[in-house]
Each structure stands twice: as structure tokens, then as C-alpha cells.
Structure 1
Amino acid sequence: MKVKVIVATHKNVAMPTDQLYLPVFVGKDLHPDVNHTFQGDNTGDNISKENAHYNELTAIYWGWKNLDVDALGLVHYRRYLSLNKKKSLDAVLSGEKAKELLGQYDIILPQKRNYYIEINESHYLHAHQHEPFNVMRQVIQEDYPEYADAFETVMKRTWAHMFNMFIMKKQPLDEYLTWMFDVLHKVEGQIDISSYSAYEQRVYGFLSELLLDVWLIQHPQYKTHDVKYVFMEHTNWLVKGGNFIKRKIVGHA
């Protein structure tokens, strides 16, 4: 089984040595001179120029369209799938273990992230502009009505598989990415983000994190398995908690 996991990055950083991992510099068309070591997301069929709006999705799109593999995954330069949560590039999920899991399951996911005191919908709306979310709900209701109940179920949960991290066999990958990008492109065609801050213009990457669990509900035929994930950098929980409270109080229009 040929398996590759893309490590999306926008800077020069150390990478795992395991051959499972393929570092991909995102937004290469926007920043052609920043990195000459990693694979760029701007060869073949690509959406590299959209990185400012689609985040790490430009990396998985590139891999989906240009790599000949049996399974493909996506992680981040700061966040990896792991079996032990050790903050070491030598301890992340190995190619051997990934293939072993894919012998039993169709999709490998990161451990669910639990928000405890709020649901996915309110968590998103406290942090981001409301219009894109509302348009996405409408797009699903009108263009993919069979997903509407699943969407509402996921939005009312207090947990989700976040970060756009996964490893999928080819068939579910093709089906998921085809659907996900179509939903996002329909949203893109109905909103104007030109007045948004640079951060909020990353909207399609943010929205996509809500779609994975919606799609999974509609495709129970695929067997999934959660593994731990590890954040390689130090987390300042005081700052993170303060920002969380600020978002709940101030929110977005």
C-alpha cells in the first residue's frame, strides 16, 4: 500500500524523517522565494494562489490531484497524528503503523476535540464572521439536502474532529474532497470577503473544519479510527483561555 501524509507548512522547519511524510510548502505561488527545499503546492493541478483563503487545503488539493497513492493524509508542521503525544518528530505516527491501521480501517482521524461548554455552531460564530457560516448552511440545505440533518447534528455537538487532519484511502478521499470543495466553492460564489481582515479571509479553511464530521455521518460504510494528536509548540493556556472568553463576549457580526 502506497501511503503519503502531507505536512502543510508555510515556513522552513524541521520535518519527520519517516518516508510516510511529504512536506508541502503552501501558497508557493504567493511566496515563490521563501522555500526551495520542500515540494510546492503550485505544480500540476493546483489552487496555490488561493492559499490566503483556503489555508492548508491547498496542500491536500495538490496531493489529491497529483500524487499516485492508495491513501493520502494531511497534518501540519506544528500538529501531528501520534500514538503517544510525545513532542518529538521521531515519535509521530509512523508509516508502518499507518499502514497497519489502514489494513483495518478506511479513515484515520485525530482524537475528537471537546469544547464542553459550547456547541460547534456557537464556537465558530464566536470566533468568525457569521455570513460565510450562514451561507454554507444554506448551500447544504439547497444543493445537498441529504446532508442537512447531518449538518445540524454536527453543529449541535460539543465535539468535532478538527484541524483538517486525516488519512484516507483513495475512494473515501475522492468522495469527501469532491463534496467538500464543491460546498466551499458554492459558498465562495455567494459572499464577498474583500472587507474581511487578513485572518478572516482564511474563511474557507475555517469552514472546512466543520464539514468532515458532516460527511462522515452520511458515509457510515467507511470504518474510522481515532488516534491521538500532538501539538509540537508550547501552548500558553492563560492567553488561549483569555482569547476564548474575549470571543464569547465580543464575538463577530
Structure 2
Amino acid sequence: MKSEIYVVSHKQTRMPEGKIYYPLQVGPAKETFKGYLRDNTGDNIADRNQNYSELTAQYWVAHNRQADVKGLVHYRRLFSDGGSHFFATVDQKYNHVMNEKQLTKLMDKYDMILPRKRNYYIETSWSHYEHIHHIKDMETTRKVLEEKYPDYVPYFDKCVQRTSAHMFNMFIAKSAIFDEYTDWLMDVLFEVEKRTDITGYTPYEQRIYGFISELLMDVWVEKNEINYTEVPVMFMGKQHWVKKITSFLMRKIKGNPNKDEK
């Protein structure tokens, strides 16, 4: 079984070891980093990276690579060997990255690997999006699903009202599933893009389609009854938890100052 996990990065940085890992460069840099593949070759949407984030890499993998198993992870977030290793140093975490043997064992039993769900506890995925982004864009997404994929709408409504979701646009799957999900996702997002005006959005908000896609993963997985398992994700760097928690609570109290007026 040939497995290829693509580690998406916009800069040259440390990569996990092992022949299953392929550094994949995204973004506008003119030079190609040594040892990296790049998402601006072949069939690609690399020029949309500012708005699609790591999805330009996902599209490239689906349309340009051949393997039995394909995966997408980030240089700062990697699947572990099964443990959380929350208090480990970064160097220690690199010793606990999922290896080929562990991956093969999981893929013998499952069709997809997802991160453990992120739980927001005090708000739903819909309200969380509303507090950070422009909720009209999620409303547009639902409208597109109504028109193009009506069978998915009940799953969408159910998923966005939960307080947890599989986030980060990280997953590993058998090739046919990886490609099928990617084609469906892009079909939805390209239509949303046609109907969306992002004039006045901050650079962060302009990453709109990467954010929307995080909430579409569970919709597709549940509608298609994908046999998946969850694996912990390790953050390969310092996390400023006090700042993150404070920011989360302030958005909950005050809301997003940039959100759309009703």
C-alpha cells in the first residue's frame, strides 16, 4: 500500500521524518524550497491560496498525485502515534508523529482518519462562526447546498448546531474517498465564491473558504457514512493558551466587531 501524507507549509521549516511524508509548499513565494513539492504545478488553484488556505494543496493532491492513501496535515499540526503528548516538548513530539506502520494498521480497519473533535462547550459551530466571521457566508453555503446537494442539507443543519466538529482541514483517507470528498467540497466552495463579495474583509477573514470547509467535513463524512477513526493532533510549537481563551471569551461576550449588520 502506497501512502502519501502531504505536510502543507508556506515556509521552509522542520518536517516529520519517514517516507510517507511529503513537504508541500503553498503560497506566493517565488522560490521553491529545497525538497518540497509545490501546489502551483499541473492542475491547480494555487492562485486562490489567499482565500482557500490549505485547500489549494488539497486540490493539487487530489488532481495530481497517485497513491493508495492520501493525507493532508500542516507543518504546525501533525497526527500523533495515538497519544496526546500535550506536555511534551516540540522535539519530543516529533518522536511521536504517526509512522507508516501505525498508519497502515489504521487504514486496514478504516477508510478515513480525522482529528479528534474540537469542542466549543458553550457555543455551537454556527454561533462560533458568527462570532468570528461573517455569518452571511454560511447562509450562502447552505443555500448552495439546497440547490446543488439538497440531500446534504439535513446533515449540514445538524452538524452546525453541535458544539464540536472535526477541524483543521486535516485528514487521511483511501485515495478514492480523498478525491471524491475534494471534488464535492470544491464544487460547493466554487459556487459560494461566485456569490460572495469579500470587499472590506480583513486578511484573516479573506481566508473564508478554508474556514467554511472546516464545517463541511462532517457534513460529507456523515452523509456518506464514512468508516473513520479519530487520532489526536499535536501542535508543533508554543501555544498561547491565556491569549486564546481570553480572545474566545471576549468574542463570545462582545461578538465579532466586523460581522454583518442585520
TM superposition score normalised by structure 1: 0.95
Give 1:237's aligned residue. 241
1:246 aligns with 2:242: no
1:126 is paired with a residue of what secondary structure?
helix
- For 1:93 and 1:142, locate their aligned partners in 2 and report how far apart those are by CA, in whole Å: 40
- For 1:149 and 1:200, locate their aligned partners in 2 and report how far apart those are by CA, in whole Å: 27
Matched-pair contact (CA < 8 Å) for 1:11–1:34: no
- For 1:143 and 1:61, locate their aligned partners in 2 and report how far apart those are by CA, in whole Å: 20
Give 1:45's aligned residue. 43
Matched-pair contact (CA < 8 Å) for 1:115–1:159: yes
- For 2:59 and 2:114, locate their aligned partners in 1 and report how far apart those are by CA, in whole Å: 18
- For 1:16 and 1:177, locate their aligned partners in 2 and report how far apart those are by CA, in whole Å: 24
Q: Which residue identity lines up with residue 21 of structure 1 in the other structure?
A: Y
From 109, 114, 117, the counterpart of 2:114: 109
Give 1:148's aligned residue. 153
- For 1:122 and 1:159, locate their aligned partners in 2 and report how far apart those are by CA, in whole Å: 12
- For 1:40 and 1:163, locate their aligned partners in 2 and report how far apart those are by CA, in whole Å: 20
Shift in Å, 1:178:
1.1
1:27-69 Cα distance to aligned partner (Å, 9 max, x none)? 2xx2213734411111111111110000001111111111110
Give 1:81's aligned residue. 79
Shift in Å, 1:170:
1.5
Q: For structure 2, list consecutive stretches of 5 or more residues without a partner in the other structure.
A: none
Structure 1 residues 198, 34: CA separation in 2 closer, same or farther (over 3 Å shift)? farther
From 225, 241, 246, the counterpart of 2:229: 225
Identity of aligned residues (%): 43
Give 1:55's aligned residue. 53
Shift in Å, 1:226:
0.6
Give 1:211's aligned residue. 216
Shift in Å, 1:198:
1.2
Shift in Å, 1:246:
2.2
- For 1:84 and 1:32, locate their aligned partners in 2 and report how far apart those are by CA, in whole Å: 38
Matched-pair contact (CA < 8 Å) for 2:53–2:207: yes
1:98-150 Cα distance to aligned partner (Å, 9 max, x none)? 11110110001111111111111001111111221110011112221100000
Equivalent pairs, count: 250
1:210 is paired with a residue of what secondary structure?
helix
The RMSD of aligned alpha carbons is: 1.2
